[in-house]
A and B are shown apart, each in its own frame.
Chain A
């Protein structure tokens, strides 16, 4: 997911312009010149400026040189080969899975599924993955549900405590 400075700089210019435009359309406070519009407009302007400078490659001499990893990647990233970096999207995807699944399935099952998939994706053996998936969610549940009284949903499988 390494993008060129042109792309990230261009994105910042676009974002800054949108912030400036969006900010300028906010309603003001009656009888006052300064309102909620000022701050987003200042930031938007700054982002446009910074983005343009980055796209032009100014300030690059301060950056540390890239160290390209050429080692073999384990687990999911290794399977994906050239697209190994895309494996990085798995953790946020699992978090979204948690959001969707935790109410119907309950914390213990959702947590176990999340941990199992993530452990395997990191290249662990099935034995380790199942071990972690079985042990970790109940311990976390115990701490957060019992000690800290966070209302974690029960779903299909309720904890015995």
Chain B
């Protein structure tokens, strides 16, 4: 109980309140602008969090990511351009509703069910994380190895991309993580004699490059989005209570899918939205209405992508394994602020954990009034010329990367990873898988090498402990899943041909 009170006191400071409010507005705006993703918002925010107190730093990340994931629905609904990838799953559905003249219903559903999803996800995080901490205490390097590998494999199961290309992208990230002297032998590895590379390629500049610079590059080489049509919006939350009652089952199912996929290492809000939308369609009684402006799928996937956000913090806090690209960045901040992830975090830093839960709840409640304001103002914000926003983002990339360590070499890394990210995206290689590879490389290697030393180079002990064998089975399933889907499709096509 004292821990809870301490947590409350930690949140109830002027600094944290300002941090939450400012990052909420920031997250809303970045999320609403097409092409600027939630991950990019967080990557550009991190250099600033260095200068904040631990709770304020984590609060800015939590708040701005929640707001950005919701706000991504706004341009999706009004212009058929998803503001963030997590909204892509149901953009067509939301836009169809707008065309039927029900834009306020679609936007309201996004807002309302996002907030509910976020709150349910937080409650799940509060219950799941301490319970799993008990289990996590008994983990050895074998379990950690499989868990981090599972995270990488899940990241490769992204929709609409070749699984082999995704695995190649993850391996590329792991290779990047090999650079430097931080390896089992302490020898300079792949540094090519450069002193700048001795410390390795830091994840944060790479992230800024991949998620922000490559987005600016894409903007330079593509046509601007069409101007937003003028539309009067009615009451935003008006029809939501009726929707909540009517689609209660779908809402809870969406929340559950979001939490589970979020808690799975490596898979985040984007995947949760796709899976929830597909599930909703599969089990719907009015399946033929999907795609024509039917709110059912919107309810389920809108709830899923926000509950996944909180779920993503479960593996991040417990194991230091990112649940998605956003927590991949957040883990770095946690380390920096002395909140090292691990099962003992829940006993030693219990008050900080309560503070974190409270921030989650505050952010999701705050989302409703701010979201309404944002929807009302969206016409003006979406009209901001891309040609003015992108150059400022580019300058922020340079300054932000420099601010991480007052080192100009970081800006070179940002530029290099901008090009890498751009070329990869153009050729169907998912960049999120590479980013997780970079973030988790050191961890995968350490656990692999320690396990191999313990087992004297044998492979069998990797499968001997019960939890390790379960995780290994999951990892191998994730690896073979695409092959199974391919065979199934072949069989179905063959049957159809007969």
Contacts and interface: CB of A to CB of B under 8 A. Distances in A.
Given A47-B175, A54-B164, A92-B217, A27 B187 contact: yes
Dominant SS among interface residues on chain B: helix
Contacts, number: 240
A29 B224 CA distance: 55
Given A19-B175, A115-B395, A40 B189 contact: yes
B223 A73 contact: yes
A43 B406 contact: no
Identify the interface centre among A46, A85, A102, A122: most chain B CB within 10 Å of its CB.
Answer: A122
> Which one of A5, A88, A149 has the greatest number of beta carbons of chain B within 10 Å?
A88
A75 B220 contact: yes
Interface in A135-149: 136-137, 140, 144, 147-149
> Is chain A's interface secondary structure helix, strand, loop, or mixed overall?
helix
Interface string A72-85: 11111100000011
Interface string B444-465: 1100110011001100000000
Contacts of B394: 91, 94-95, 114-115, 118
B190 to A, nearest CB: 6
Contact of B387 (A44, A102, A124): A124
A156 interface: no
Contacts of B189: 23, 26, 36, 40
Interface in B408-435: 408, 411-412, 414-416, 418-419, 422-423, 426-429
A124 B411 contact: no
Given A29-B184, A39-B178, A51 B168 contact: yes
Contacts of B449: 34-35, 38-39
Interface residues of A, number: 90
Interface residues of B, number: 76
Given A38-B452, A54-B168, A90-B220, A119 B161 contact: no
Contact of B163 (A62, A96, A121): A62
A50 B160 contact: no
A95 B418 contact: yes
Interface in A55-73: 58-64, 69, 71-73
Contacts of A60: 162
A61 to B, nearest CB: 7
B418 A91 contact: yes
7 contacts: A8-B429, A34-B452, A36-B183, A39-B444, A47-B172, A114-B391, A115-B394
Query: What 4 A-B pairs have minimum CB-CB distances, sorted nearest first?
Result: A122-B387, A118-B391, A124-B387, A36-B185
